[in-house]
Amino acid sequence: MPEMTYGAAVRSAMEWEMERDSRVFIMGEDIGVYGGAFGVTMGMVDHFGKERVRDTPIAEEGIVGAGIGAALVGMRPIVEVQFSDFIMNAMDQVVNQAAKIHFMFGGRMSVPLVIRGPAGAGTGAAAQHSQSLESWFHHVPGLKVVMPAFPADARGLLLSAIRDPNPVLFFEHKLLYKIKGEVTESDEGLPLGHGLIRRYGRHATVVAYSLMVHRVLEAALRLEQKGWDVEVIDLRSLVPMDIPLILESVKRTGRLAICHEAVGRGGVGGEIAARVMESEAFDYLISPLLRITGLNTPVPYSPPLEQAFAPSVDRIEQSLEGWLTQEVSLT
């Protein structure tokens, strides 16, 4: 299998689908000659032309609205939002239109639209260009939300997202674009809603997604040197979410921790915790749940403060170690 970066894997998926299906096209700000803010669409306009790689004005509501319209008449549009934060400018289109049209028309219409956006902190881009807003869209019925952590998953899940009849938000963490991994260049997509156990363990289950999967895995290796065996689940998609995988893991380990970069208040971690507490897995718990999240503050511009905002490997390791060594009785 060839090795490619995460960004190249995303581009490979788009190019594959554009070659395979003439209905697929991409549009967004500076995605043509410039190649996108993070270079993901570099060279695509030369291959597919300006009709299928369409540079747009700086108007997210208009871009997403045009994507919805194109989807409704049979196209398969991919909208790139230059920073995922800017989706806020198109919230009415995303939440009140794309998410609801299928239901409001009695299932007779569908919106096969993919909205891609670079998400997350770590690049010094400050509060309006560094957020993790996936919980907003996780909350909305009618939307699917995908956040892959590895190049192979980025390609396979994007293939499936483009082919899906529903609107899909596809968030790509900025710090993942340059990581490399083996990627199968095939026509086979990965099913949405299937998580993956990245590391098996017996003392605790840690659920993560996107960049945090890498940091949790590194923290787990450190904890192994201290005698703790941690299981790590990569969700890959948040909607649909692989709740059965989480529950079975918790039944084996008796402990659950959730790690995400988004702020803790109202985050996806709270939903995961609630689903476990409402299930039969609750009876298997031997300690309280743990959430390791971004701080409840806007992402700072100052590099040291920005590093303190998001869970680092050190913070994840220390939080897990302190939690695992607690003597807690649930009786």
Name, in order, each residue with C-beta under 8 angstroms of 16's C-beta and a sequence gap of 6 or more: 159, 185, 187
Place of tokens 């988004």: 262
Question: DSSP E strands: which ranges in 18-141?
Answer: 24-28, 53-55, 76-80, 114-119
Alpha carbons 191 and 156: distance in angstroms, whole number: 8
Alpha carbons 60 and 85: distance in angstroms, whole number: 11
The one catalytic residue among 47, 102, 129, 203: 129
Residue 203 a catalytic site member: no
Alpha carbons 280 and 238: distance in angstroms, whole number: 21
Alpha carbons 227 and 230: distance in angstroms, whole number: 10
Sequence letter at residue 57: P
Q: Which of 111, 315, 146 is nearest to 215 (CA)?
A: 315
Please list the active-site residues: 129
